[in-house]
Amino acid sequence: MQTESMLLNDLYQLTMAEGYWKNGFVDAQASFYMHFRNNPFQGGYTIACGMEHLSEIARNFQFTDDDVDYLKTLKTATGEDLFDRGFLEFLRSYKLTLDIDAPLEGSAVFPIEPVVRVVGPLIDCQLIETPLLNAINFETLIATKAARVCHCTDGAVAEFGLRRAQGPNGGLLASRASFIGGCASTSNVLAGKMFNIPVSGTHAHAWVQAFDTELEAFRAFASAMPHNTILLVDTYDIEEGLKNAIIVGKEMEERGERLIGIRIDSGDLAWGSKLARKMLDEAGLDYVKVTLTNDLDEHLMVSLKEQGARVDSWGIGTKLAVAYDQPALGGVYKMSAIKKTPDSNWEPKLKISAQIAKRTLPGLLDVKRYSDDSGNYIGDLVYDQLLGLSGDLAVDPFDLAQVEDFSGFESKQLLVPLVRGGEPVIDSFDAHEARDRVAVELSRLDSSYTRFLNPAPYSVGLDPALSDSRTNLINEHKKDKKRKLKN
């Protein structure tokens, strides 16, 4: 699988690139930004992820001879060559020279605001659109799901969704994003190697079924893996399984070893976990941990805790690795400014839609994040670098009469350099650092934003100059439309 090929792209990026090439836009500069309109999972926050992947896309950007040879074979519906041979030769030696800015991986981000800003040659900006969205949309979605899962428990969470992930690359990226979101480990051994993520796992029901008795299976596993013994007790009967696990735990004590834990993967998990804790404690095995699995997500985990489940750690598979209740983030990538010649000025651009939520923002966009005296985040301000900051007032993008004043509060820039001149400027992306960042970010969000049920909307406003610029562009479009109708 050639996942780094620039042919992993939408065809219309290439047809538009040829159109720009033919129409004298080779020297045109543009600015695009990626954003999303709603937090996933009906939540109050989103965790940015995929910046490492995006950096690698920029680093490895190249149309190989094989790529160009394939593009030569493509035909139109009437049988002509789809692409001009001169354009294909142009692609063969093409090199990105764009700039990309984005939040650090693990940062909290919110609807409307730029999550990624791309500035550079218009053709560059167009060709990287689909790979960028593919990377950021998926990995941000999974990191957010993992953050929600891990935020609702004090126990460690292991991710083991590879077998149900969306293909091998989906599985790898889901494992990394899940770890960044807060998971303690993954079952995915290749992800462990590639991303320096702790790996975990013991045995499945098949191990128990391979032996004549459950007790024999438990003894054999404890002998084979004396320092990694977590016994799956629900193959036949949970209570009998617990009794057999206790026998093996006692035998391990006699050898100077310890049973790490038991795992329950079916049935009434709340009842089973309470029974396990009771039986283990009465047997003097109070140090043995209880792990629950079985199609868990954050909502079921909260329910189990409310039912008094006694659980020390969790294993989350399908519903994490495929973001089971929301299949896509829905991030979009829109042009916000263009500079058609080296000597011309930047022209702000926006998409106007009958749906107010789909109206975009014009200019070279940036974001300031404000925090109170305790370091808690209180709101973000989007502004246009071309216009500069008017101050610390933030206009509600959907209700211009609503203005928030962030004067006197500390602020920082949300977007940082990721790529300059087509080359990554961040030397390494450490998943552990990003994971630690998530914990800090969530601690700086009020609980009203992190709760699962009806979270409060985090404040993202527009600088007054940017708000006026957008309003003026919309009004100009309406006037042009009226003039055309009159004529």
Long-range contacts of 274-280 (CB under 8 A, 24+ apart): 274/308, 274/309, 274/310, 275/238, 275/239, 275/242, 276/233, 276/238, 276/242, 276/310, 277/310, 279/239, 279/242, 279/243, 279/246, 280/242, 280/246, 280/249
The fourth-level CATH superfamily of domain 202-294 is Aldolase class I (3.20.20.70)
Summarize the confidence of residues 36-52 as an average pLDDT.
97
Torsion of CA 209, 212, 214, 219, to 10 degrees: -110
Distance CA(247)–CA(226), nearest Å, equals 15
189 sits in which H/E element: helix 189-195
Rounded to two decimals, the pTM is 0.96
Domain boundaries, given as residue ranges, for the chain: 202-294
Q: What is the pLDDT of residues 325-378, one digit of tens each?
A: 999 999 999 999 999 999 999 999 999 877 777 889 999 999 999 999 999 999
Tell me if 381 sits within 8 A of 370, measured CB to CB: yes
pLDDT of residue 4: 66
- For the cut 80, the answer to whether the pLDDT of residue 69 exceeds it is yes
Among 459, 308, 304, residue whose Cα is nearest residue 376: 459
Tell me if 292 sits within 8 A of 304, measured CB to CB: yes
- For the cut 50, the answer to whether the pLDDT of residue 2 exceeds it is no
Distance CA(111)–CA(358), nearest Å, equals 11
Q: What is the pLDDT of residues 212-263, one digit of tens each?
A: 999 999 999 999 999 999 999 999 999 999 999 999 999 999 999 999 999 9
Distance CA(170)–CA(161), nearest Å, equals 10
Distances (CA, A) of 349 to 25, 145, 188, 336: 16, 33, 44, 5
Distances (CA, A) of 322 to 35, 164, 325: 21, 8, 9
Q: What is the pLDDT of residues 126-140, one digit of tens each?
A: 999 999 999 999 999
Torsion of CA 186, 189, 194, 197, to 10 degrees: 30
